[in-house]
């Protein structure tokens, strides 16, 4: 089944995803975010009381939709394949590192593109770091980096995460036992059914098109292939038009929703995300899609992201949003704490260690 094998069809899938993102923004998802995989995993971790930051607690149906949309389409197209065994603990660490870097910047690569489309110059600066991280990871790929082979597993193994997430959504919706923000980003959300349906469609599109924000740049660097980049470009274009039409476009560094202008740490945070994403085989969104189509290794990466989000808020590693001065309060520059800055540097060191110690040795010529 190859209905998305042409560049224009890939771009069309990106445009459809953009329309769905805009729809979620219209119906209540946070401003200048609409969808952010890192932020939504963080909110879901808060809902499950893995952290206690009250403004960011809500079990996001979008996370369930991405995984289950991929799962259902993979089953339908016979692309579902349960695999496991490719350095799971390393992938767990890579997931945690991706999350820490993303939360220092305040967004995953998807949200970075959405912020760019709304005129947030901080996100354009962060793109430098993200592209640099992808380039570094690509360098190690060319040198022979590999986390080893994944082996075929029992079918139910790959289905565990989609089933678990669906069950958690049903439990939370039916009982209301999860924590839920009454203010802040976690309190802003579209209706559950709309969020779930939109995410199911995006998950299916991402599964078929192989949408990946890190992969789009990696393919340009390694193969001069712009196919995946066409998806991201179309998503950006649709959201830029929406933001202009809705009056959400504000060009500049300051007064941007849920953002800060600590440029060095925006760059380094997204450098971590790009580097880790290439080593793990995909950006945060791609990890959810791969988990949906049967990869237990990507499911472990998701668990790393989930606990990384919890750690980021439990130990004050996440960046803080800048705030403008008011009559009663002084301006707040935002950005990461000292602990967050140290965590980013530690993540970079760990990523170089992982990359350097997982190079395939070339066989000596006889």
Give every CB contact of residue 353 below 8 A, 6+ residues apart in sequence: none
pLDDT exceeds 70 at position 81: yes
pLDDT (tens digit, 9 = 90+) per residue, 162-197? Answer: 999 999 999 999 999 999 999 999 999 999 999 999
Distance CA 240, CA 303 (A): 32
Query: CB–CB of 21/35 below 8 Å?
Result: yes
Query: CB–CB of 331/324 below 8 Å?
Result: yes
Q: Is position 362 within any domain?
A: no
What is the CB-side half-sphere exposure of residue 264 using CA atoms within 13 A?
5
Helices (H) and strands (E) in the chain, counts: 14, 2
Query: CB–CB of 315/308 below 8 Å?
Result: no
Per DSSP, 361 falls in state P
Question: Which residue is listed with tokens 């224009």?
Answer: 8
Q: How confident is the model at residue 38 (pLDDT cuts 50, 70, 90)?
A: very high
Query: CB–CB of 66/285 below 8 Å?
Result: yes
pLDDT at 363: 53
SS3 of residue 42 by DSSP: helix
pLDDT (tens digit, 9 = 90+) per residue, 89-114? Answer: 999 999 999 999 999 999 999 999 99
Q: How confident is the model at residue 337 (pLDDT cuts 50, 70, 90)?
A: very high
pLDDT at 333: 87
Q: Is position 316 within any domain?
A: yes
Per-residue pLDDT, averaged over 241-270, amounts to: 95
Q: Is position 252 within any domain?
A: yes
Q: How many structural domains compose the chain? A: 1
pLDDT at 31: 75
How high does pLDDT run on average in the chain? 94
Distance CA 77, CA 6 (A): 18
pLDDT at 366: 46
Virtual torsion, Cα 246, 250, 251, 257, nearest 10 deg: -120
Query: CB–CB of 143/135 below 8 Å?
Result: no
Of the candidate ranges 68-72, 154-158, 217-221, 347-351, the one whose mean pLDDT is the lowest? 154-158
pLDDT at 177: 96
Per-residue pLDDT, averaged over 351-366, amounts to: 80
Q: Is position 140 within any domain?
A: yes
Q: How confident is the model at residue 32 (pLDDT cuts 50, 70, 90)?
A: confident
Question: Which residue is listed with tokens 């990523």?
Answer: 351
Assigned token pair, 270: 């997204």
Give every CB contact of residue 364 below 8 A, 6+ residues apart in sequence: none
Q: Is position 242 within any domain?
A: yes
SS3 of residue 151 by DSSP: strand
Alpha-helix runs per DSSP H in the chain: 7-26, 37-47, 61-76, 88-105, 109-117, 121-142, 155-175, 192-209, 213-223, 227-246, 263-280, 284-292, 296-314, 338-356
What is the CB-side half-sphere exposure of residue 232 using CA atoms within 13 A?
24
pLDDT at 175: 95
Of the candidate ranges 112-116, 130-134, 154-158, 287-291, the one whose mean pLDDT is the lowest? 154-158
> Over pLDDT 90: what percentage of the chain?
90
Question: Which residue is listed with tokens 């060095």?
Answer: 264
> Over pLDDT 70: what percentage of the chain?
97
Give the domain extent around 246: 7-356
Q: Is position 34 within any domain?
A: yes
Per-residue pLDDT, averaged over 334-351, amounts to: 97
Question: Which residue is listed with tokens 């692309």?
Answer: 79
Q: How confident is the model at residue 364 (pLDDT cuts 50, 70, 90)?
A: very low
pLDDT at 365: 46
Give every CB contact of residue 178 below 8 A, 6+ residues apart in sequence: 47, 48, 49, 57, 59, 172
Distance CA 52, CA 67 (A): 25
Q: Is position 192 within any domain?
A: yes
pLDDT at 362: 59
How many CB atoms are located within 10 Å of the residue 36 CB? 29
How many CB atoms are located within 10 Å of the residue 87 CB? 20
Q: Is position 366 within any domain?
A: no
Distance CA 347, CA 326 (A): 36
């Amino acid at each position: 089944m190859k209905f998305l094998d042409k560049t224009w069809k890939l771009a069309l899938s990106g445009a459809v995803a953009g329309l769905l993102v805009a729809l979620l923004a219209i119906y209540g998802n946070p401003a200048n975010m609409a969808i952010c995989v890192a932020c939504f995993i963080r909110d879901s971790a808060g809902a499950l009381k893995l952290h206690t930051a009250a403004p960011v607690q809500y079990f996001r149906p979008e996370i369930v939709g991405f995984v289950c949309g991929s799962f259902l389409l993979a089953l339908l197209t016979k692309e579902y394949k349960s695999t496991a065994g490719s350095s799971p603990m390393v992938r767990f660490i890579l997931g945690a590192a991706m999350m820490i870097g993303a939360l220092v910047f305040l967004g995953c690569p998807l949200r970075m593109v959405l912020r760019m489309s709304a005129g947030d110059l901080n996100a354009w600066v962060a793109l430098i770091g993200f592209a640099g991280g992808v380039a570094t990871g690509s360098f190690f790929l060319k040198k022979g980096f590999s986390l080893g082979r994944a082996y075929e597993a029992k079918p139910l193994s790959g289905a565990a995460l989609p089933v678990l997430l669906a069950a958690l959504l049903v439990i939370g919706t039916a009982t209301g036992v999860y924590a839920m923000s009454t203010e802040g980003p976690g309190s802003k959300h579209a209706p559950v059914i709309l969020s779930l349906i939109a995410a199911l469609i995006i998950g299916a599109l991402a599964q078929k098109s192989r949408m990946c924000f890190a992969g789009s740049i990696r393919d340009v660097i390694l193969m001069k292939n712009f196919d995946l980049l066409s998806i991201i470009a179309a998503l950006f274009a649709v959201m830029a038009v929406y933001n202009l039409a809705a009056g959400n476009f504000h060009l500049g560094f300051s007064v941007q929703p849920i953002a800060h202008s600590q440029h060095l740490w925006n760059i380094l945070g997204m450098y971590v995300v790009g580097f880790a994403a290439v080593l793990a085989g995909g950006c945060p969104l791609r990890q959810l899609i791969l988990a949906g189509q049967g990869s237990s290794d990507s499911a472990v990466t998701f668990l790393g992201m989930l606990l990384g989000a919890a750690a980021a808020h439990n130990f004050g590693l996440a960046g803080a949003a800048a705030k403008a001065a008011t009559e009663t309060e002084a301006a707040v520059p935002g950005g990461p704490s000292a602990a967050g800055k140290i965590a980013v540097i530690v993540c970079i060191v760990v990523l170089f260690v992982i990359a350097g110690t997982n190079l395939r040795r070339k066989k000596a010529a006889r």
